[in-house]
C-alpha cells in the first residue's frame, strides 16, 4: 500500500557560587491539579537524575532552585560543570536530607536524591513547527488524541527523542499536565522534544497537512500495516487513547488508517509501546 493521496501543500537566574548551601526544613508545596506532583515556588518540581540534568543544561529552561542529597550532588557533577562551561546562569545548589526530598516529592517518587524547581518551557505552537520544518523534506511528528496518562506521554516523548521525532502534539484538555511524573517518565526527553498543546486536534492536523505532512492514524481497523506505507517525507503518526482509540473526527482527518501487525493471545499494545514500534518502523524505512 502506498500513499492514498498526496499532502497539501536561558533565562538569567542567580549565578551559582559553586558552593553547596544548607537550608532548614522545606515547607510543603502546593499539589498540582493534575495529581502529577507538587508545584515549586514558581513552577514545578522535576526529579530524578536524567530529567534534572537535562533541565539544568538546557539553555531554554529557567531553574529557580536545585536540591540534592550529598549522594545526589556527586551524581550532578557533570551537569554542573557543563552548565558552567556553557555560561548558563543557575541558582546555587542546596543540600538536603533524603527525608526532605521524600516529603516534597509525590509518594513513591524515585528522585535519586535530586530535584529542581523549574519554570515552564516556552510554548511551541503548530505554526511554529510548520515554520521550522518548512525547508525540510523529511520529518515525523507524533499526535496523541486524548492520551491522559502522564507515564504514557512521558514514555512516548522518550521514544520520540530516541527515534528523531520533531514534536509530540497533545490536546489542551484530556491530556496530562507537564509535571515531575511526566518528566521522569520522559527521562530527559522533555527538554529535547517539544510537547505541543492544541485546543482543536482536527484543525491542527489540517494545518500540518497544509504544510506538507501526511497523517497516518494507527488503529486496529486499518486495512494495511504501517510497514506497507510510504513513510518517507513529512509524516504525522496519530495515536489514540487506550480503550477508546482515535475519535471519529480525528480518524476522518487522517489521510490513511494503518495498523500494527499484532496478534496472538494479546492483540493490542499499550499506547506508549505502540508509539515506540511505530517510530521504529518509520526510522527503519528511512534508514
Tell me the pTM.
Answer: 0.84
- Each of the 287 residues of the chain gets a pLDDT tens digit; together they read 344 433 333 333 333 333 344 333 333 333 333 334 455 544 689 999 999 999 999 999 999 999 999 999 999 999 999 999 999 999 999 999 999 999 999 899 999 999 999 999 999 999 999 999 999 999 999 999 999 999 999 999 999 999 999 999 999 999 999 999 999 999 999 999 999 999 999 999 999 999 999 999 999 888 899 999 999 899 999 999 877 789 999 999 999 999 998 876 766 789 999 999 999 999 988 87
**80 and 48 together in one domain:** yes
Q: Which of 65, 87, 118 is at the close of a domain?
A: 118
C-alpha distances in Å from residue 215, one per residue of 53, 158, 202: 34, 21, 11
Residue 161 domain boundaries: 126-286
Instruction: Tell me the CATH number at 254.
Output: 3.40.1280.10
**215 and 263 together in one domain:** yes
Q: What are phi and psi of 139, to 5 degrees?
A: -170, 150
Residues 6+ apart with CB under 8 A from 54: 188, 189, 190, 191, 192
Distance CA 283, CA 31 (A): 39
User: With contact defined as beta carbons under 8 Å apart, do 117 and 92 qualify?
Assistant: no
Distance CA 165, CA 91 (A): 32
Instruction: Tell me the CATH number at 109.
Output: 3.30.1330.30
Amino acid at each position: 500500500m502506498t500513499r492514498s493521496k498526496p499532502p497539501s501543500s536561558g533565562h538569567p537566574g542567580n549565578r551559582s557560587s559553586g558552593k553547596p548551601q544548607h537550608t532548614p526544613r522545606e515547607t510543603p508545596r502546593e499539589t498540582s491539579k493534575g495529581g502529577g506532583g507538587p508545584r515549586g515556588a514558581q513552577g514545578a518540581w522535576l526529579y530524578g537524575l536524567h530529567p534534572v540534568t537535562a533541565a539544568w543544561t538546557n539553555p531554554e529552561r529557567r531553574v529557580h532552585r536545585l536540591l540534592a542529597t550529598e549522594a545526589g550532588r556527586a551524581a550532578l557533577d557533570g551537569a554542573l560543570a557543563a552548565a558552567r562551561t556553557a555560561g548558563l546562569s543557575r541558582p546555587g545548589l542546596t543540600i538536603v536530607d533524603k527525608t526532605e526530598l521524600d516529603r516534597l516529592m509525590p509518594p513513591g517518587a524515585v528522585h535519586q536524591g535530586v530535584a529542581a524547581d523549574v519554570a515552564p518551557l516556552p510554548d511551541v505552537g503548530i505554526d511554529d513547527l510548520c515554520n521550522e520544518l518548512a525547508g525540510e523534506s523529511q520529518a515525523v511528528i507524533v499526535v496523541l488524541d486524548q492520551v491522559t496518562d502522564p507515564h504514557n506521554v512521558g514514555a512516548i516523548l522518550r521514544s520520540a527523542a530516541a527515534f528523531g521525532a520533531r514534536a509530540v502534539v497533545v490536546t489542551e484538555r484530556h491530556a496530562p499536565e507537564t509535571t515531575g511524573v511526566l518528566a521522569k517518565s520522559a527521562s530527559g526527553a522533555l527538554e529535547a522534544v517539544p510537547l505541543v498543546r492544541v485546543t482543536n486536534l482536527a484543525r491542527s492536523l489540517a494545518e500540518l497537512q497544509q504544510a506538507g505532512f501526511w497523517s497516518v492514524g494507527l488503529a486496529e481497523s486499518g486495512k494495511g500495516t504501517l510497514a506497507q506505507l510510504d513513510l518517507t517525507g513529512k509524516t504525522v503518526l496519530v495515536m489514540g487513547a487506550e480503550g477508546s482509540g482515535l475519535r471519529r473526527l480525528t480518524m476522518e482527518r487522517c489521510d490513511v488508517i494503518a495498523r500494527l501487525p499484532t496478534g496472538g493471545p494479546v492483540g493490542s499494545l499499550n499506547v506508549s509501546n505502540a508509539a515506540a514500534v511505530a517510530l521504529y518502523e518509520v526510522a527503519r524505512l528511512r534508514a
